[in-house]
Structure formats: structure tokens, C-alpha cells
Structure 1
């Protein structure tokens, strides 16, 4: 891994985008930073570079959204994330990245299509209640996909958007659950050798960019109206799915 101008030319916009997504728009598109970095460095090192930066963004965001989350929904997702991360750690070296990418993309597109159909009145489904089973399943899916590619946003969004939360509650809950899952991932990542001297140097250099992106995201969240917020969230999910399909195909 070489920390040259080409690396930072890719890393700075990628980290800034991830920070804005995590700080203001539910983390759905933040995963794209790692595949973007993988253009310049080996994919596993790209994942290792991003995790400490994502954790720094989480800490920055927690203060802005402190106790504004919906704890019952956060709790069931966080419980489910534990076995999801364990499974991700066990299968990390044998899991096909392309299969995971396609699965996440299909979930994201299917959910957006469902939400559009519900908004237009083509189907009528009341908001779901907090469910340990549903939350555990989607939490496990989120924990697994977060571990293998930092792509835990779409599975978590399927559960949380189905709950009919307002934008502040939705955003605060995503901040809390991804703070949790990133802590769970840290030690298995270290055991797998994903942190090196070079990734630590990159983290130190990119830390101000991560904080700036998170703060920009918080500011954008406060300025964007609720209807536009969820519209942007759906757009991010679709963009995420298309990017995943492209990565799997290429």
C-alpha cells in the first residue's frame, strides 16, 4: 500500500462523502468509500483503512443525535448484529464479494420499489411494530454485510424505514447502531491483519476529512425537509444497489 498523491486524490472525496452520508442520510451510501479506495489499494486494506475513519465519524455524530434514537428499534438491530458480525468474521476469507454485493443490491432495490408502491397507494401496509424477530434478522444481515464490505446500511434501512420513523429518529437510530457494529468489527479486523502501519498513517492524515464530512452531514440533515430527506435516502439506496451490481459485474 503506497500513500501517494493518487491514493489521497481518491481517499479525500471518498471519506468526505462517507462522512456526509453517515452524518445526515442514514449511512446508506457510506459503504461506497471502500470500493472507491479499492481502486488504489488492495480491497482488504481499503476496508481496513475505512473502519477507524467510520468509527471517528460515529463518535462525531453521537453528540449531535444523543438520545434522539428509538431505543427499542436500535436494541433489536444491535442484538441481531452480534451473530451477523460473528458470521462475517468466520466467512470473511471464503465469502464471494460478488454474491454479497448482488444480494444487498436486490434487497435495496426491492425495498425502494415497495416504498414507492406504498406511497402511491398501489399497496396498503401499515407501519410495522418493533419486532425482535424482524429486527434480529435484519440486524444480522446488516452485521454480516457491514463486516464484509461496510455495506450494512441497506438491510438496516429495510427495517427502520418500515417502522415509519421521523427523519431525526431514523437518523439518530442509524448513528447508534453503526457505532455499535463498528466497535464489534474492530477486533476481528485487527486479528485478520487488516490494520497496518500504512493504514494507521492514512487514518491520521484523513481524520480531519472524516470529522468535516460528518459535521457537514449533520448540518445537511437539519436543512433538508423530511420528505426530501427520505427521497434522498431512497436515491442513495438505488445508487448503492447500482454500484454494487456494477462491482459484481466487473
Structure 2
């Protein structure tokens, strides 16, 4: 048993630190991968239940660092779409084809990056028109739904927010506010579905310091990396996470 616990923490500690760095500094697009890593050493449902309180702790730690620096209109639009998405995810949790949703969101994420790179590749000038409010509402719905079923709400949020060409910290602060609200909303139906157990909550207590460490590192890295490199890294993370979603869905 001790050996199994050691293997669990070998995977869990870096996964949780990674989630903290991603959410604390780089828009949370890749944070969902932490649940995927945990799913290698525990049941998928247990991995989701383990990660949610830790994600909420990271949100709270990052909120102070970015307080009031978000784009409130864009954040509220994604939250307004996200809350019904959470309810939809809770309603369809047992029946939803999560793999099909992973492929769809992954394709949108990768396609968006390619679209943004058209000008740099010399194919066509990148359009400067932000996505519409209607598209933002649909993105919010996808944020809430995919966040509920797999903690993978980061890519659809990034697609909308990046289209607005926000400044680096405005973009980051917006993601922190959005997922703080969305993750709080997810906690009640997660509890109602019986996903939280005494064991998962005890493990969360042990992993909490690593979540806070990751959030602190993420905030530090956010402020030390130039804006150009920040968005380059954000596009890389969006491509990687989108590709991972497609791979998971097809596999």
C-alpha cells in the first residue's frame, strides 16, 4: 500500500504544481492536463474530484494578485454562458459523450491558433475583428460544460479572450475571475453527485501546499515574461491542450 501511495504522489505533486503555474500565470489553458495525469494513477472520476478543490484554492490564491485588472465585460459574458454550461454538464454528466466534446473543443482550439497565425505565415492578414458577443456566449457555454466534465474549460475561454487582443495581465486576470466563479459553481453539483469523498478531501489537504506553490510560481513567471513571449507561450499551450483533447477523444 505504501508503494502505491508513493507512486500516486510521484504523479500528483508535479501535476498539481503544473496546474498552479498554468492557472496562476498562463491563462489556465493547460491546467486540465493535471486531471489527465492523475487519471493515470487513479479512477477518472476520483481525479476530477481531487482536482476541483485544488483548482479552487489556486483560483483564490491568484485572485488577489490580479484583482480588478480583468476585462469585466468579457469575463461576465463568459460567466453568463458558463453557468448554464455547468448546469448542462451536471444534468448530462452520466450520459454525455465526453470524447466527442473533447474532439470538438480541441479542433476549435487548434483551428483558432492556425487562424491567428495566417498573417505570420504569409497566407492572409489576421483579421482584427473580435468575436461577437453571441460567439462569446457560446464559448462560455462550452467553458462551463467542458469544465464540469473534464476541467477542460480553458481552451474555449482562450479562443474568445484572445480574439479581443487584451493586454497580457488583463487576459490573465480575466481567466482567473472566470474560473473562480465557474469552479465555485461546479462544487455544489460535484458534491451532489457524490464525487467528493473523505479520501479525496484528505488527499487535497496534503496536496494543497503544492497547489499554492504552483500558483505563486505562475504569478511570478507571468510578471517576468515579456508580453510577446507570454502570448506565444499561450498559443503553444492552446495548441498542445487542443491536440491532447483531440488525441484523448479519438483514443
Q: Scaled by the length of structure 2, what TM-score is found?
A: 0.95
Q: Equivalent residue of 2:118, what SS?
A: helix
Q: Show CA shifts across 1:79-132 (max 9, x none).
A: 011111111111111112211211121011001101111445613412427x43
Contact 2:115 2:126 in 1 (8 A): no
Equivalences for residues 1-250 of structure 1 within 5 A: 4-120=5-121, 122-128=124-130, 131-250=132-251
What displacement does 1:249 show? 3.5
Give the drift of 1:196: 0.4
Report the more deviating stretch, 161-170 or 3-12: 3-12
CA distance in 2, matches of 1:137, 1:120: 29
**Could you list the runs of 4 or more consecutive aligned residues of structure 1 that deviate by over 4 angstroms after TM superposition?**
none
Does the C-alpha gap of structure 1 residues 192 and 68 become closer, same or farther in structure 2, counting only changes over 3 Å?
A: same
Q: Give unpaired runs (5+ residues) of structure 2.
A: none
DSSP 3-state at the match of 1:9: helix
- Helix, strand or coil: the match of 1:123? coil
Q: Distance in 2 between matches of 1:72 and 1:241?
A: 26
Distance in 1 separating the partners of 2:190 and 2:173? 26
Structure 1: gaps of 5 or more residues: none
Residue 205 of structure 1 deviates from its aligned partner by 0.2
**Pairwise CA distance, 1:134:** 2.2
Question: Scaled by the length of structure 1, what TM-score is found?
Answer: 0.96
**Could you give the per-residue CA deviations for residues 205-238 of structure 1, whole angstroms, max 9, x where no partner exists?**
0000000000100000001110100110011111
CA RMSD of aligned residues (A): 1.6
Deviations for 1:30-55, whole angstroms, at most 9, x for unmatched residues? Answer: 00000110011110110000000000
Q: Write the distance in 1 (CA, Å) between the matches of 2:83 and 2:108.
A: 21
